[in-house]
Amino acid sequence: MTQDDHALARDLATEAGALLLRLRADRGFADTKALRDAGDRESHLYLMDAFKRLRPDDSVLSEEGRDELSRLDAERVWIVDPLDGTREYAEEGRGDWAVHVALWERSALTAGAVALPAQGRTLSTAEPVALPDVDTAHIRVTMSRTRPPEFIDRLAEHLDADVEFVPIGSAGAKVAAVLLGEVDAYVHAGGQYEWDSAAPVAVAHAVGAHASRIDGSPLAYNQEDTKLPDILVCHPELAPSLLAGIRAVL
């Protein structure tokens, strides 16, 4: 029996994450560059071998692989980030790094998983979580630790709510924090690529969260130019006020 795509995304992300945990334990943190490079390479090779065996007719777009533009004519494309949050992966004690596995089919994301190996969990479209309630009077916002949107302070002042900023590492960990109710929104405008958000957005859509560009337009995947520079993921009750606020301060 062929494993369905939702379960396959979940299992591959989880297994690649387990590989990364073993690699981290074996190598230690003395040479962080070597650890980062090994993590990117080994997770990528593991996923590519799995797709070759289990979905040999599908195309793959990986951050760590050569971009084959034949994917533009394919009906099924796996979009993966073998190690999202490479910086955090090489920092001892940090759990905000992830493995992203998403499936794009004929213009839309249809399956995906975000593994958070150091947190011992994987969020996926196979078993969507229940989105927690939100307190609209106190909004917790996460963003890039190193490249926060230049408008983020103006946005906080514009919103009719108390705003708390919560630093988190990888994009996958940020979106997972939204879906688990640890924060309420993720705002990014400092540049990204499709593999940074495809799996997190697939999972966000599965639980009913809002996910779009910061101007409210849809996120498009499997494009010739893989740059996808900004994103808003949030509880759906917050989307109208956040989008209006961003429009007002830009």
> Per the annotation, where are the binding residues for Mg(2+)?
63, 81, 83-84, 196
The amino acid present at 139, given as its one-letter code, is: I
CA–CA separation, 137 and 119 (whole Å)? 29
Look at residues 70, 24, 71, 18 and name the one whose alpha carbon lies nearest to residue 46. 18
Find tokens 């009913």 and name the residue.
208
3-state secondary structure of 2: coil
Which parts are annotated binding residues? 63, 81, 83-84, 196
Q: Which residues contact 60 (CB under 8 A, 6 or more apart)?
A: 47, 48, 51, 71, 77, 78, 79, 80
How far, in Å, CA of 196 to CA of 91, rounded? 20
User: How large is the C-alpha radius of gyration of the chain?
Assistant: 17
- What is the length of the chain? 250
